[in-house]
Amino acid sequence: MPATYVKEDTITDAEAVKKAYKPSHPGLFEIVYAEGSFNSQLVASKDFNKDEVICVIEGTTPGPKKYTTVQVSRDLHIELNSDLVFLNHSCDPSVSLDTDKMQLIAAKDIKKGDPLTFFYPSSEWEMDQPFPCWCGAQKCSKSIQGAKFLSTETMDRYFVASHIAELLKERGPDAAVAPSQK
Ligand SMILES: C[S@@+](CC[C@H](N)C(=O)[O-])C[C@H]1O[C@@H](n2cnc3c(N)ncnc32)[C@H](O)[C@@H]1O
């Protein structure tokens, strides 16, 4: 598995990196590189049925909260150390990243070539680097900052990890969130 995530705009010879690329999960998914920062994505290398376990998530290491890490409990963030770091966010996600079972699970039927995306607030309470979402889903939350900033009504539409479910319960259903996030 590639040990570290390298931002494309830090690579001097992006073509050489693409040529040398060896998928960390051959036959399951692979990175499709695109020009510009953060435009690359992970796509399926085969069809998956809804609820199928795509892979077990292994080889992770704890690390400080960053745009590359996944929150796995109230205070633990991990680096994925594999192509999984190229999973983009979508408000209509194709996969669930189950941090309790440490599994990547198909959230819908997926065809070969489809982007693999998960709903980042399903694991992230308060993200290190929020971003405006370009997923284009009908019910897009527009600004992705973490579960803390979304209404309970919105969060109820998604699979969420146990630490996020607990934090939402503690917050209560009527927490004040920005009007654009309701
Ligand atoms: C770990 S990277 C995922 C891979 C990234 N697309 C790349 O090419 O390096 C996470 C970053 O990708 C970008 N990203 C992921 N999903 C996005 C979305 N739906 N809308 C806008 N940016 C997104 C954000 O900049 C986010 O901080």
Per-10-residue mean pLDDT, the chain, length 182: 53 72 96 91 98 98 98 98 98 98 98 98 98 97 97 96 97 69 53
Ligand 1 pocket residue status of 143, Cβ below 6 Å = no
Q: How far is the CA of 111 from the centre of ligand 1 (A)?
A: 21
Distance 153 CA to ligand 1 centre (A): 24
Q: Residue 110 has what DSSP assignment?
A: B
What pLDDT is attached to residue 1? 42
Domain boundaries, the chain: 8-181
The pLDDT of residue 7: 57
Q: Which DSSP helix (H) or strand (E) runs through 167?
A: helix 162-171
CA-based nearest residue to 25, from 2, 48, 8: 2
Q: How much is the pLDDT for 174?
A: 64
- Token digits for 68? 């590359």
Residue closest by Cα to atom 1 of ligand 1: 68
User: What pLDDT shows up at residue 20?
Assistant: 87
Please state, in angstroms and rounded to a whole number, the distance separating the CA atoms of residues 87 and 115.
8
Asked whether 82 and 2 are in contact (CB, 8 A), the reply is yes
Only one residue has tokens 């010879």, namely 13
101's tokens? 């079972």
**Choices 3.40.462.10, 2.170.270.10, 3.40.109.10, 1.10.760.10: CATH for 8-181:** 2.170.270.10
Ligand 1 atom having least distance to the Cα of 39: 8
Most distant pair of Cα atoms in the chain: their distance: 51
Q: What's the predicted TM-score (pTM) here?
A: 0.91
Q: What is the pLDDT of residue 73?
A: 98
pLDDT for residue 3 = 44
